[in-house]
Structure 1
Amino acid sequence: MIKTILIATDFSLESLDVLKKVLKNKTEQNDENQYHILFVSGYDMGDSIRDLLFTTKSTIFGKIRSQEFCDAYSIINNKYPNLINKITCDIFTGSFQRTFNSYIETAAIDEAYFSSVKSKNLSKGQFDLTPYLKKCKNINAIEVLTQTPEFVPEKGRLAEVFL
């Protein structure tokens, strides 16, 4: 059976810790399901008509998602091939709770996870989805305890995925 997991992210390498912990937990539980992982970040499109007409998801991802993030989730995908069906990135551009609830329902989200650490890596236009997840009545969002060590020799690098 294929289920969909939403992970609130800022598209930084640190946000992949949530995915690693969730998949590790599912492996320990001998979970037989496969999962479609959906990384979602909030993004404010602004009010400019030009921006609304000519901005696409790919241009937004070019601004907020690094190549290291894509490489890192590919590594995680290769590590858990029995659990991961596919990994997709998306943005939520709404500003109301009912819009977010509709997004959750439309995407058929089965589980949602967010980090316990507040993101410091939000770029211009991005916003945190955690308040929307906490208020969403359609799904039980689970907070994943993540800790960032003070000193990591490869901080901000792809090697951080292997820690």
Structure 2
Amino acid sequence: MIANLVQLAAEEEQNPLVPPGPELLVGAIAFAIVFFFLAKKLLPNINRVLDERREAIEGGIEKAEAAQAEAQDTLEQYKAQLAEARHEAARLRQEAQEQGAALIAEMRAEGQRQREEIVAAGHSQIEAERKQAAAALRQDVGTLATELAGKLVGESLEDQARQSRVIDRFLDELEEKAEAAR
């Protein structure tokens, strides 16, 4: 037991948290070497990579802002062109409606004129045919009336002047009776 107590007393003199002097010196030298290596070799590389990333990010942000500004400008141009195209379409539509209305009015006027021409031509043709029929009828009626009067009287009424007077008087009387009947 005493041996155990001596060993315990010896162990108490050594603090487990404080390393022995030679280990402390070797640890400090190793730390300085690693620190020097990190400070001179690794840290500049890390800083360079971080700077490149920062520049890339900042450049990307600037590019994105420039692209966004360009997109905004393009959008504004597109909106202006679209508004102009809509205005032009409305103007063309209005012109087409006006031209259509003018064309319809012109076609109506042309149709009215053609109708009036056709009606006038029909009236003149009817009037000419009526006159021709009246003249033919007058001649036929006159010939028949002369023959009938000659048969009734018993002599020929071939005298042309007398025949014309009798026919004209007879037809005039018929026309007067027809007008009075209306």
> TM class by shorter-chain length?
under 0.3
TM-score of the pair, normalised by structure 2: 0.17
Higher strand share: 1
Higher relative contact order structure (alpha carbons within 8 Å, sequence separation ≥ 6): 1
